[in-house]
């Protein structure tokens, strides 16, 4: 995900539109990732060096989380508390992913690259959502 693409998503004159767009993008990517883990846990487990049981559990959690973020994104005015919860969850996921890589997981090279890449993407979502929420709140002041 490039900075240019994120900037294009954020361009709007309406307060809150960028926030909803970043939430929707997060929901889409997270939900798709979860569904891929559910549908392809065996082959993805082999590629990434993770057990299929782990990917099934993560897939179910990510699919549900993606759906919840999608519901929040679909609201005309996503609640600040809801957005803060998503930001906190995303930051927690990013930190735990990197900690698991360092302390617990023994992935393939592809799995290690994937773990770092998705942690950075999720942290990027958190940053964009946090900034968009601040801008929405500033526009109301």
pLDDT in tens, 37-82: 999 999 999 999 999 999 999 999 999 999 999 999 999 999 999 9
Half-sphere exposure of 127 (CA within 13 A, CB side): 10
- In this prediction, residue 12 has a pLDDT band, given cuts at 50, 70 and 90, of low
- In terms of Cβ atoms closer than 10 Å to its own Cβ (0-12, 13-18, 19+), residue 119 is buried
pLDDT in tens, 104-119: 999 999 999 999 999 9
- In this prediction, residue 4 has a pLDDT band, given cuts at 50, 70 and 90, of low
Kindly compute the dihedral angle of the four CA atoms of residues 85, 66, 122, 129, in this order, to the nearest 10 degrees: -50
């Amino acid at each position: 995900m490039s900075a240019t693409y994120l900037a294009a998503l954020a361009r709007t004159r309406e307060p809150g539109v960028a926030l909803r767009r970043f939430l929707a993008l997060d929901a889409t990517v997270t939900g798709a990732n979860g569904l891929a883990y559910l549908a392809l846990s065996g082959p993805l487990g082999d590629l990434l060096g993770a057990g299929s049981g782990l990917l099934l559990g993560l897939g179910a959690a990510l699919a549900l989380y993606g759906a919840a973020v999608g519901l929040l994104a679909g609201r005309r005015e996503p609640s600040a508390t809801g957005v803060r919860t998503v930001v906190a969850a995303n930051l927690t996921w990013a930190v735990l992913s990197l900690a698991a890589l360092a302390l617990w997981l023994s992935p393939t090279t592809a799995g290690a690259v994937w773990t770092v890449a998705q942690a950075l993407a999720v942290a990027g979502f958190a940053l964009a959502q946090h900034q968009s929420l601040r801008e929405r709140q500033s526009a109301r002041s």
